[in-house]
Amino acid sequence: MKELIISEWERAWGRKKTQMLLIVYPVLVFLMEVFMLQFGVGFYDMEHEVALHALNFPLFSLRDLSLLLVFVIAPMLWVDSFSGEYSTGAYRMVLIRPYSKGKLLAAKWVSQAALTGILLLIPFVMSQIVGWINLPNPSVTTFFYEGAERYDMGEALLYQLCFYGWIFLILLVCQSVCALLGTWMPNPILSFLAYAGGLIGSIYLSDSFIILFGHTDEVFRLMAGKAEVSVYYVLFGTLVVSLVSIYGSWKKKDWVK
CA-nearest of 55, 239, 34 to 163 is 55
- Determine the Cα–Cα distance for residues 127 and 187; give it in Å rounded to an integer: 36
What count of other Cβ atoms lies within 10 Å of the Cβ of residue 25?
Answer: 18
Domain presence at residue 139 = yes
Number of domains in the chain: 1
**What is the 8-class DSSP label of residue 73?**
I
pLDDT score recorded for residue 182: 85
Alpha helix (H) ranges present in the chain?
A: 2-14, 16-39, 57-60, 62-68, 74-79, 85-88, 90-95, 101-134, 153-184, 188-202, 216-224, 229-252
CB burial class (10 A; 0-12, 13-18, 19+) of residue 251? exposed
Cα–Cα distances in angstroms (integers) from residue 156 to residues 29, 126, 164, 234, in the given order = 22, 17, 12, 28
Encode the chain (257 residues) as per-residue pLDDT tens digits.
777 777 777 777 888 888 898 899 999 999 999 999 998 888 877 777 888 999 999 999 998 899 999 999 999 999 988 876 655 555 555 555 556 777 788 888 999 999 999 999 999 999 999 999 999 999 888 887 655 578 889 999 999 999 999 999 999 999 999 999 988 887 888 889 999 999 999 989 888 899 999 888 889 889 888 888 999 999 999 999 999 998 888 777 665 55
Q: Name the phi and psi angles at 42, rounded to 5.
A: -120, 155
Helix 229-252 / helix 153-184 crossing angle, nearest 10 deg = 40
pLDDT score recorded for residue 55: 92
CB burial class (10 A; 0-12, 13-18, 19+) of residue 131? buried
- Reported as half-sphere exposure (CB side, CA atoms, 13 A), residue 97 has a value of 8
Report yes or no: 210 and 203 within 8 Å, Cβ to Cβ: yes
Buried b (16+ CB within 10 A) or exposed e, 206-234: eebbbbbbbbbbbbbbbbeeebeeebeeb
Domain presence at residue 257 = no
* pTM: predicted TM-score of the whole model, two decimal places: 0.91
- Reported as half-sphere exposure (CB side, CA atoms, 13 A), residue 127 has a value of 28
**24: containing domain:** 1-252
